[in-house]
Chains A and B, each alone.
Chain A
Amino acid sequence: MISWDYLWPLFVAMGIVLAVVPIAGLYMTFVERKLAALIQNRVGPNRVGPAGLLQAVADGIKIFLKEQVVPNHVFKSIYFLAPTIGLICAMLSIAVVPFGPTEVGEKEGFRAIIAPGIDIGLLYLLAVSGLSAYGIILGGWASNNKYSLYGAIRSCAQFISYEIPLGLSLLGVIAAAGTLNIESIVASQGPGLMHWNVWWQPLAALMFFTAALAETNRLPFDLPECEQELVGGFHTEYSGIKFVLFFLAEYTHVVTVSFLTVLLFFGGWHFPGLTDSVDSTWGGYAVRWCVLLAKVALVIGLIIQLRWTLPRFRFDQLMGVAWKGLIPLGMLNLVGLAVVLTLDLSKWWLAVYSLIIVLLVGIANVASTRRTSTSNSRSNIATDLRSAPYEGAS
């Protein structure tokens, strides 16, 4: 029987998500511009409001008041539907992500999650985040523009490829906690620093972060919307509020990914020293909330910083990273995890195993580059000269 007692926490949580996520998205553009400026030895937006803090508001007002340009050649219905689908899918995935400290099995009162105690949490999340490719693909298709379609196709390939390492990397976390429920996974990580999943599953954490970054379509995985080759990719024909919806979907994904990284691998709202139960005191509750948000802010900062640190992938490299790098690594990691869990070994063996795998991959890489450099690296320079003896040959 659904009563108001069960409904009001739901509506409050939904209200918080619906209000905070767009504003956070808007301010992430500001933070992104500011960080980009600082990294490039500039000052960044500093004109609107104190220290430029109202820049995000001004941008929002500007883009909402823009003329709604609808090109003549688009499929109108899908064209309007696509950004909405993108944002809805992005928003849906937040439903199972706790955005504040929540106790497992807590049934009444306000909880900082829209769907508390949902036992298919991660499965649902993977399914819905896979759906969000629809927004991009439909947008690219409806634009009736070859560049948009290229962007959409790339996005499709990218989503399919990176779903696999994403799932593989989560298996370790799921198997260790024995549940798909995100609150339980966080609870299983305990209060101490060394209880965090990242320490004994470093490879899985790295793979999850990489694959999730690819799912957000952000640099260095921004092939679907690269300005360099595809004008703007799938959103070339979109402007004004329709563009904002795509944009917001991307930033919502970033928020979700950051929350997930923190919740699954970095102990969520746990921090060394905070050992009492979640809602024993209001102060403890607030501190835990701050801990979680601070961790999430750090991850978001890292994602933004990676954009200005790493060069972009070429498309074949992008596919190579997923199919030749992350998926085999995920499989190997899974083998190690199975061995550790089946034989009931100490979980630290998995950390050792991860390090050994990473080292072996590195050694294999070195070996392969050595071999190619002596045999055929010159083959593509000049075939005429290859056979000729020359000085300085290695």
Chain B
Amino acid sequence: MFLSDVLRRPVVGPDGPLGFVADCRVAVDGTPGQLLANAQLVGLVVAPRNRQGFLGYERTSVSSPAPLAQWYERRQRGSFLVLWEDIESIDDVVRVRPGYTRWSSAL
């Protein structure tokens, strides 16, 4: 499966639609490689309305220029991180397991 196939897919929870896959989170803590360790998928970022990414403004350390930062902050309001183990299945829609946790998507 390609990551670009998963991005922008609708996400459905046990109680109905949650939004769309806006981004993914990886951690570079897999098997050590020559330069870096392998990346491991931590989870998917789900945004209620926005299918596009956040241009890097999901990082709390970046807040300028102010108008752009505020625009993207508004666009990512309500977005959250679902861990990979909480994902039940991925086909046309991404299904999330019952009892999943909404983690903060801020970095």
Partners in one complex: no
Task: Give residues in B with beta carbon < 8 Å to A.
Answer: none
Task: Give residues in A with beta carbon < 8 Å to B.
Answer: none
